[in-house]
Amino acid sequence: MAIQVGEKIPAGAFKQKSAEGVSEITTQALFGGKKVVLVAVPGAFTPTCSAKHLPGYVEAAAAFSAKGIDIVAFMAVNDVFVMEAWGQDQSVAGKVSLLADGLGEYTRALGMEADLSAAGLGMRSKRFALVVDDGTVTHVAVEDSPGVLDVSSAESVLAAL
């Protein structure tokens, strides 16, 4: 079952790449004592994700901060090197954190997996956005299909804050 408003975010960890190398960030470190927008996409470099979804959040970074959001993070079932390259391509530095859920373990823990095998992508994540306040989910927005961008857009999530 997919995560719901009022539930605690499940424990887990993500990989990130920085100048120092590959590191792990736990959900406790990411969400503990912070207000976070966690956005998931079916894949880095995919059309809707790269043309609209991530750029919307990069452009709205200051607006999220003004609404009390400490971190905007994008997660995908991609490896850490793909996520790093996507971040460089999209100029996210200092605006959006990119999290690799390479094996889809955290996506499954959230109940948000999507079988995109018909499109040659295998198991991925649904497109969604969560607002998490100190580890508790306060807003859930899940798109009806991978190519749709509506309820999880930067504008929609800002309006919900």
Which listed residue (49, 54, 60, 77) is catalytic? 49
User: 153 to each of 19, 50, 59, 134, 156, how far by Cα in Å?
Assistant: 29, 13, 12, 22, 5
Q: Are strands 21-26 and 128-133 parallel, antiparallel or unpaired?
A: unpaired
Alpha helices, H only, the chain:
27-31, 47-48, 54-59, 61-66, 80-90, 105-110, 154-160
| Residue 145 among the catalytic residues | no
* Active-site amino acid positions: 49
